[in-house]
Amino acid sequence: MIDLRSDTVTKPTFEMREAALEAEVGDDVYEEDPAVNELEEYAAARLGKEAALFVPTGTMGNQIAALTHCRPGQEVILEVDSHIFYYEGAGISALAGVQPRTIHGTRGVMDPEAVRDAIREDDIHLPETGLICLENTHNRAGGAVVPLKNMQEIYQIARENEIPVHLDGARLFNASVASGVDVKDYAAQADTVQFCLSKGLGAPVGSIITGTASFIKKARKWRKRLGGGMRQAGIIAAPGLVALKTMVGSLRDDHDNAQLLDSGLRGVEGLSIENKVETNIVLVNTKEAGFTAKEFVGKLKEAGILAISYGPYTVRLTTHHDVDREDIEEVNYRISGIVG
């Protein structure tokens, strides 16, 4: 099976497994796990923030950010196809007690003026705007890179209105590798950033939240309340540190492989590519080929390829460290067989 369902499916490298074996550990609830502390310090410095917190998943990282920034009854501005709105089980409403205010972006990019217009006035009838969320790269927009300038403009508006900004940077390193913009420059356009170690960077588990030291102190308490205070977590933090230190460069290969998929599949009659492929995600439209997305995913499975359905006629293929150029050539070949 060639598994292109997600970049979450990567298995830890040998070096990561070795790091887990050799990790010096302690009880992280007492902040005494040397491997976790090292990862948090390194991650904060890498993003140019004061402090960081290691959390089990990107979802928990985003939820902790909403819980820490907001009070119940507030409103959160975010893009209609953002992961936080679309894929987190309405967590921000169920847990943080906030109401989402969605904005339709273009390829995941929100118009700064639409954000400005969505910020609530001071009026007894209205909720307060408690947070603005950004996502880079934007998953459902096909791994689209949100331009730094757009983030700067939104952050400026947020500051004028004293509203914090949280960046869901699950794939921020993909954005950085594709655009050449340093992750620190992206991170400077948000008060807090969540990024995943367990996607393209290949770690088995884990995400990081970064922000000011006082924010991370409060976030640490939310993590504990949610049951995310882990004990000898160095066992999973150590592979995360290896991922962060050694795997960023290989994202370039994932992007090149996505380009190869893009050009291969464009040659298959009946299929079209919905997104401008900038990073590691390819969205294939199956309508003209006479398949629904679910049917096509079934056909792919029969041909030994795993993918996921992303809409009635949209199938997502994601490249990652555990597939190479030959695998992608094989995928292009097998797909031409399905449709042709």
Residues that bind ligand TLP (CB under 6 A): 6, 8, 57-59, 62, 83, 87, 135, 139, 168, 170, 196, 198, 207
The helix or strand, by DSSP H or E, that contains position 178, with its residue range, turns out to be helix 172-179
CA–CA distance, 142 with 58 (Å, rounded to integer): 18
State the helix-helix crossing angle for 325-339 and 293-302, rounded to 10 degrees. 120
Of 195 and 215, CB closest to ligand TLP: 195
Asked if residues 115 and 105 have their Cβ atoms less than 8 Å apart, the reply is no
Of 81 and 289, CB closest to ligand TLP: 81
Q: How far is the CB of 288 from ligand TLP (least distance, A)?
A: 25
Q: What tokens appear for 169 in the block?
A: 């940077």
Q: Which residues contact 7 (CB under 8 A, 6 or more apart)?
A: 171, 199, 200, 254, 280, 318, 319, 320, 321
Of 8 and 232, CB closest to ligand TLP: 8
Of 3 and 128, CB closest to ligand TLP: 3
Of 139 and 275, CB closest to ligand TLP: 139
Q: How far is the CB of 154 from ligand TLP (least distance, A)?
A: 17
Q: How far is the CB of 234 from ligand TLP (least distance, A)?
A: 19
CA–CA distance, 227 with 105 (Å, rounded to integer): 34
Asked if residues 186 and 146 have their Cβ atoms less than 8 Å apart, the reply is no
Q: In the complex, which residue's CB is closest to ligand TLP?
A: 58
Q: Which residues contact 150 (CB under 8 A, 6 or more apart)?
A: 109, 110, 112
Q: What tokens appear for 299 in the block?
A: 């056909």
Q: How far is the CB of 300 from ligand TLP (least distance, A)?
A: 16
Of 202 and 289, CB closest to ligand TLP: 202
Q: What tokens appear for 64 in the block?
A: 């902790």
Q: How far is the CB of 153 from ligand TLP (least distance, A)?
A: 21
DSSP tag of 119:
S
In order of 7, 295, 321, the CA distances from 4 in angstroms are: 7, 16, 11
Of 40 and 168, CB closest to ligand TLP: 168
Beta-bridge partners for 76: 100, 131
Q: What tokens appear for 190 in the block?
A: 């948000």
Q: How far is the CB of 83 from ligand TLP (least distance, A)?
A: 4
Q: How far is the CB of 141 from ligand TLP (least distance, A)?
A: 10
